[in-house]
Structure 1
Amino acid sequence: MSHQTGIHANEELKKYFAKSRNANVRVIKVSIKNEELTLDGHHSVKSNWENDYDKFVLPLIEDDQPCYILYRFDSKVDKNYEWLFISWSPDTAPIRQKMLYASTKATLKQEFGSAQIKEDLHGTVKSEITLEGYHKHNKNAIAPAPLTSREEELQELKKSEVHTDYSVDSKQQTLGGVAFPLTKSAKNAIEELLNGQHNYVQFKIDMDNEEIDVSSTDTVSIEKLPSKVPEDSARYHLFNFDHSHEGERLVSTVFIYSMPGYNCPIRERMLYSSCKNPLIQTISNIGLDIVKKIEIDSGAELAGNFLYDEIHPTKSHHLPKFAKPKGPPNRGPRRMTKPQQS
């Protein structure tokens, strides 16, 4: 699945785009606010594009807040002005913000009109998006093959990548997702699960502190497990499933990722999806052996023998015999051949 966020331009921005593409507009700033692409600043043409560049672009940039900048060149193609698309994603911005802007970039380009965008410029520090930084980018760049929307999103995410290893205590962005650190209480809850002090742990993402915290711990029966899954928010769950299989008593640890569809805000859906794999790896590093990983939309899916069937799927021992395919119709009588004489 492409990591499109579902965020689109609001009506004000659409109307401004419609009248500004070939008007006396030099620069447009777009930000994501209230899960919409929103007009956040603009300037008219004052001089040629190089003289206007630093005077107009740099004041629109905030140190800790990503944004998009559309900057108009003086050149035209087919009577339409050419534009520079700047993605500003500072290193100091929250990871969830950087992910959101990286995944919405392709949508904004489509809303504005990809045909009018001549070049892309990505910056994590201000020096990269100054006029001097733009010229350096052009000097070092080799014309790449056109990218698909999905390739653009992956490229943007990779540019803000920090590390590719996992850690319990450090916050990292990885190729497999975003690794938020576990709080002390979350780590304690996992260790208590290992020691048998309870058989169920629920985790939530602390959006403000960018941590994964414990939401609740309990000792529950398999029949009560569905009631532990929230209907309006995403969660991660660990459950020690105590059961018998072929006469042997087993305790299997199951990781459950619950996401109640579109009842959750876009950012929550995106962040929980991205944090899932690093969290599983972190839990495994602590020493918990996860037997099965499951994704569900609601607690109702856990009813009945669902977990048992997931862990011990039925194997068919009666494989069908090979059936020789029929020959072509109307092929005539079978021809007899004489054995060769020695």
Structure 2
Amino acid sequence: MSHQTGIQANADLKKYFSKCRDGKIRALKVSIENEQLTLAKHYPVKGTFEQDFDKYIPTLIVEDLPCYILYRFDTTNSLGYEWLLLSWSPDEAPVRHKMLYASTKATLKQEFGSAHIKDEMHATSKDEVCLKGYKTHVSGVNAPAPLTDREEALRELQQSGQDPNYGTDSRQSTMGGIAFPITESAKQGIIDLQRGSYNYLQFKIDLEEEKICLSKAAVIGLTELPSQVPSDVARYHLYIFKHTHEGDHMESIVFIYSMPGYSCSIKERMMYSSCKGQFLEIIEKLGVVVDKRLEIDDGKELTEEYLYDEIHPKRNLHRPAFAKPKGPPNRGAKRITKTQTTQ
């Protein structure tokens, strides 16, 4: 996928992004200079997330110049520390600058790694870029959306003990599987896979939260793929299998459902099996075309030969040619009809 503005991170910024993974950086400011994303300023971790917020963020703001600020949370996910992406775009800034930063944000997220970004915030005035302003942003995001009249009526029915979905239609809808939502990081990971940031994603089902989460995102070689499959829990995987077929270079996206036999609980086996179809629908709605779907119970199955044969099945070259069927027996001798000539 091409970048919207053509602007990319310079070499120094890319190097610093990798340094951010060690957990010692609290905040960094990124600006667009000479048509490149450039590191403008950074601060180390001193206190907690809240203690450092008002100490650092206001000093990174210039009233009439847009910028991006990446601010590290104290929380982590399976990939490392989580980050806040703050887009500063003051009302006083020229429209051209505001449009440039808005259209380059997707590139910044891709370069940094979208799966590391837990939250995003857009600010246009200085009273928003403080800890109080951030907490207001969080409460607004988490507030439930207002209910429509129909939703209000349904809620009243549910509270009164009546099930508005009872009947044949509800029974049919449950037959197709269970539809758990996916987290924002899982969605972003799928988008980043298309952009080329990763070639391997692993997903797990949070059985308590009833959500599908991203558990790993990486760039790996084919020889590393088998070791990514857990031997004691079920998982979903997406992998871009790069290979050559009949002289053409191909990149086939493979969806792998791994279930290690009966070492998993019955509930886990049922949930992964039931959610698989709905999860594949979500993946395809996000624009990912899955070339092959596989089910395995051991990562050792994922060899180059196995993947190649699954994507390009061998045809049986020794199948006998079509033979004309014999006529019915005892049909009698073939008749010869002579043409009569007149005298």
Q: TM-score, normalised by structure 2?
A: 0.47
More helix by share: 2
